[in-house]
Amino acid sequence: MDVGIIGLGRMGMNMALRLLSGRHRVVAYNRSPEKVRSIARKGAAGAFSAEQLIALLKRPRVIWLMLPAGLPTDAMIDQLVPLLARGDILVDGGNTYYKDDIRRAEALGKAGIGYLDVGVSGGIWGLKNGYCLMIGGPQPIYRKILPLIKTLSPKNGYLYCGPTGSGHFSKMIHNGIEYGMMAAIGEGFALLDASPYSESLDYAAVARLWNHGSVVRSWLMEMAERAFTNDPRLAEISGHIDDSGEGRWTVQQAIETAVPAPVIAAALFQRFASRRDDDFSDRLTAALRKEFGGHAIKPSKKGQNRG
């Protein structure tokens, strides 16, 4: 079928390629034109503006957004709405907060524009392996884009989750779980690394071993094996961990619904801690220990710099 893709980043570019290989007609638009030229060389119709993308698509149009969540996606939707017609469908495949979906679907519905929220998982491997898709929105609209969903996903790799927001809600929780799993793997290997056996242990071999018959075998463990194969003691990597929102929203959700989620919350806060060198609260805790117990303190790195 005909589909417009907006956003040719790490995800959108590969998704466009997978759709092309599934014999869909892809019209692609990206803010930076070189990516549009690149996908056009691989068989897509290149668009260099939203207007051009709209003009190149057959009606009713289906447009799949793969942009950073929040303002960039909202701004693109605002740009598209005056150009769209009743019956057209917008699909947001980014990691959008589910409450934004509910707000958007209501506004777009008034203009007769369909809206689906699709949580996408699979990262840069999705081109080859397919993308796991979690779909929310009106079922009749979902059915209209099923040919795209089937091409993008692997066998058994998609689910209609329910009304608007349920796709991104499921993806948010998926990512919360991912936070906890990654943190547990990280802590486990840190314990190995601090042990008397660290010299003799080959961490890539341990990760490989744990993928053969063990309870913790997983794709993340396969990734751990790859990371340790490339850099056996992670000497080339800083411990700074970014986040793009889903962990925060998962913890907010846990608070709103009073569901205990201590593992995910701890993993989120560990990411914040990972970005702070010589943290203020740690310095105060050290100062308090000195005040009440006379415990030794180490001089501040900042103080050393000033010195």
- Residues labelled as active-site residues: 171, 178
**Structure token digits, residue 282:** 């740690």
CA distance 49 to 291: 63
Q: What letter represents residue 304's amino acid? A: Q
Site string for ligand NAP, 31-60 (x = CB under 6 A): xx--x-------------------------
* Candidate residues 19, 54, 69, 77; the one interacting with ligand NAP per rule CB under 6 A: 69
Torsion sign (Cα): 239, 243, 246, 248: positive
Structure tokens at 286: 């050290």
| Residue nearer to ligand NAP on the CB measure, 5 or 210 | 5
**What are the tokens at 111?**
């203009």
Select 9 or 163, whichever has its Cβ closest to ligand NAP.
9
Q: Identify which range of 24-32, 50-58, 99-107, 259-267 contacts ligand NAP by CB under 6 A.
A: 24-32
Maximum Cα–Cα distance for the chain, whole Å? 75
**Least distance (Å) between residue 67 CB and ligand NAP:** 4
Residue 123 binds ligand NAP (CB under 6 A): yes
Determine which residue in the list 8, 28, 161, 251 makes contact with ligand NAP, applying CB under 6 A: 8
Question: Do 286 and 257 contact (CB within 8 A), yes or no?
Answer: no
Which stretch in 3-11, 80-88, 184-192, 224-232 sits in contact with ligand NAP by CB under 6 A? 3-11
Pick the piece of the chain touching ligand NAP (CB under 6 A) from 20-28, 29-37, 154-162, 232-240. 29-37
Site mask, ligand NAP, residues 246-285, x = CB under 6 A? ----------------------------------------
Q: Find out whether 275 and 241 touch, Cβ atoms under 8 Å.
A: yes
Residues 6+ apart with CB under 8 A from 248: 268
Q: Contact between 94 and ligand NAP (CB under 6 A)?
A: yes
H-type alpha helices, the chain = 10-21, 33-41, 50-56, 71-80, 98-110, 126-129, 139-144, 146-152, 166-193, 203-210, 219-230, 246-256, 262-274, 280-293, 301-306
Tell which positions 196-255 bind ligand NAP, by CB under 6 A.
Answer: 244
Measured from the CB atom, the residue of 133 and 251 that comes closer to ligand NAP is 133
Closest CB to ligand NAP among residues 16, 57: 16
- Residue from 3, 63, 67, 127 that binds ligand NAP (CB under 6 A)? 67
| Radius of gyration (C-alpha) of the chain in whole angstroms | 23
Q: How far apart are CA 181 and CA 194, in angstroms?
A: 20
Binding site for ligand NAP (CB under 6 A): 7-12, 30-32, 35, 66-69, 72, 76, 94-95, 120-121, 123, 244
